[in-house]
Amino acid sequence: MKSSFNTKKIFQIVLILGSISSLYFVPWLLVKAWIMPLPNSVQEQTEKALAYGFDGIVVSIDQEGKPPQFYTSGWKNRETKIPADPNALFKIASISKLYDAVAVSKLVHKGLLSLDKTLAEYLPELKGRIEYVDKITLRHLLQHKSGIPNFTDITPNFWGNPTKTYEESIALILDKPANFEPGQDYAYCNTNYLLINKIMDEVLGYPNFKFIRDNILKPLQLKHTFGSLQEVDLDDVMSGYHKGYAHDLKADDHGMLASAKDLGTFIRALNKGTVFDSGEQEIYSSIYKYEHAGWVPGYQSFASYDEEIDAVFIEFYSTTDADLYNWNLSEIFNSRIVTIFKETIKSNQ
């Protein structure tokens, strides 16, 4: 009986010690950000976020019937002490997939692309180099259901020395086994949109961003959205920083850039359907979503639409880290910004 009691006591002690030691692994920084009392304004929230290690923040809120509201804190450039600028250009990274999907919808409607045509038919040079190439359709690519490996995950520390061309990028996944059969699962994959951009280039006979500019940006009068750093004055770009790396990363080209106002206008047009001509939105709705986020070293971007209050929220954060703590913090701050804004609306009614 005594032996049984001692065994039970030891077990309880071990359990308690295990629980205490597990607290060491709790992400207390995230917990703190989540449980802190809500500030009285969105501006206060952006300023408080600086205490968590962000160098610069830009927030845009575009509610129907009202001028866009902008909130900033921190730096556009911390070395020269230039304050965060709501009009600065920002690298929107994977948010560009929304523009790509709209472009594909327009090309499908024009009969230049088919969602059910296979990768082997579009890019025959990939036959024998990508598994299931004759079964992967354009629809699979758009919906991240192709099973193709993600080229940004293949090389350790990919973002420390990223590929610069389509040829370099696609070479990373050639002859690699598929993650799953096409259509049988979902896995977010940058290779899918690398291939979609290549397919659009081939079908159009010219770089597809020209099609995006002519058919999306110009009709919406978006004059501060660009395809790459080569098209802009570097002084107009918000600086980006990665923890553990001392230098400004704004000179690294990672595709599309936009101002918060331009991106907000596009997201509203996407969700309201005004970016589409007749028959195009039905195609788009069958293949992709209506909000997105983006990450490249130094830049985290978020774009969403809140139907309840008919408002578009854009959040730019100019500091990243390898462990994605800043990403998780950003999502917490984004949620708080929406809550604060909604409470402000209620208090003013």
Neighbours of 214 (CB within 10 A): 10
Structural domain for 3, as ranges: 1-35
Residue 340 CA to residue 42 CA, distance in Å, equals 6
CATH of the domain at 48: 3.40.710.10
Domain shared by 1 and 122, yes or no:
no
| Phi, psi values for residue 306, rounded to 5° | -105, 105
Q: Are residues 74 and 84 in the same domain?
A: yes
Residue 141, C-beta contacts closer than 8 angstroms, at least 6 positions apart = 119, 192, 193, 195, 196
53 and 149 share one domain = yes
Place of tokens 């099973």: 147
pLDDT tens string, the chain, 349 residues long: the values are 444 445 545 445 444 444 434 434 447 678 877 788 899 999 999 999 999 999 999 999 999 999 999 999 999 999 999 999 999 999 999 999 999 999 999 999 999 999 999 999 999 999 999 999 999 999 999 999 999 999 999 988 888 889 999 999 999 999 999 999 999 999 999 999 999 999 999 999 999 999 999 999 999 999 999 999 999 999 999 999 999 998 999 999 999 999 999 999 999 999 999 999 999 999 999 999 999 999 999 999 999 999 999 999 999 999 999 999 999 999 999 999 999 999 999 888 7
What pLDDT score was predicted for residue 57? 98
pTM of the model: 0.91
Together in a domain, 8 and 148: no
Nearest Cα to Cα of residue 151 among 194, 89, 87, 118: 194
Tokens of 209: 């961003």
Helix axes 260-272, 96-109, angle to 10 degrees: 40
With H, G, I as helix, E, B as strand and everything else as coil, classify residue 291.
coil
Phi-psi region of 53 (alpha: psi -120 to 50; beta: other; left: phi over 0): left
Domain identity same for 135 and 43: yes
25 and 154: one domain?
no
Q: What is the pLDDT of residue 19?
A: 42
- The span from the CA of 137 to the CA of 145, in Å, is 9
**Number of domains the chain is built from:** 2
Do 167 and 25 sit in the same domain of this protein? Answer: no
Instruction: Please state, in angstroms and rounded to a whole number, the distance separating the CA atoms of residues 222 and 211.
Output: 14
Do 118 and 254 reside in the same domain of the chain?
yes
Query: What are the phi and psi torsion angles at 197 (to 5°)?
Result: -65, -40
Q: 12 with 151, same domain?
A: no
C-beta neighbour count of 313 within 10 angstroms: 23
The DSSP code sequence of 135-146 is: T-BHHHHHTT-S
The DSSP annotation for 13-69 comes to HHHHHHHHHHGGGS-HHHHHHHHSPPPSSHHHHHHHHGGGT-SEEEEEEEETTS--E
Alpha-carbon distances of 105 from 14, 128, 235, 262, 285, rounded to whole Å: 59, 28, 34, 21, 9
CA torsion sign for 105, 109, 113, 117 is: positive
3-state secondary structure string across 162-185: CCCCHHHHHHCCCCCCCCCCCCCC
SS3 label, residue 347: helix
Per the structure block, which two tokens stand in for 32?
Answer: 């703190």
Q: Are 12 and 91 contained in the same domain?
A: no
* Closest among 57, 89, 53 to 244, alpha carbons compared: 53
Q: Which residues contact 268 (CB under 8 A, 6 or more apart)?
A: 62, 64, 274, 305, 312
**Would you state the pLDDT for residue 15?**
44
Based on the fold, state whether residues 141 and 241 are members of the same structural domain. Answer: yes
Examine the domain organization and report whether 25 and 127 are in the same domain. Answer: no
